[in-house]
Amino acid sequence: MTQVNQDTSVPALPTWLKLADEGVTVTLKYPTVISGVMTDALTIRAPSVKDWRASKVAGNGDYEKQELSLFGSLTGLSEAELLTLKYKDYQRLSAGYFRLVDEDDV
């Protein structure tokens, strides 16, 4: 008889992600210069409905523009600064964002 492990606990957070009630801090794999300062971590605050709606208007039907607008608003970075991130670090921001908006018990 095969025993099935039914562990339904939430997966552990990656070491590069620190979750708090108001946001997440993402440690970058590739530190980058933001506003003239070498930066190795970025913080994303929890989004409001207003943030999401504003990004939808800014995107004007273009999902990538909408996401850049939203991430810019939540991190305080410009689109140009977000575009300087390595893709792996942008993916980390995205993962952090989804940790903020997904239900905790799903």
pLDDT tens sequence across 27-85: 999 999 999 999 999 999 999 999 999 999 999 999 999 999 999 999 999 999 999 99
Question: DSSP string covering 26-73, please?
Answer: EEEEEEEEETTEEEEEEEEEPPPHHHHHHHHHHHTT-HHHHHHHHHHH
Q: How sure is the predictor about 16, in pLDDT bands with cuts at 50, 70 and 90? A: very high
Comparison of pLDDT for 18 and 103, the residue scoring more: 18
Please give the residue that has the higher pLDDT: either 5 or 76: 76
Q: How confident is the model at residue 10 (pLDDT cuts 50, 70, 90)?
A: low
pTM: 0.82
Q: Is the pLDDT of residue 25 over 80?
A: yes
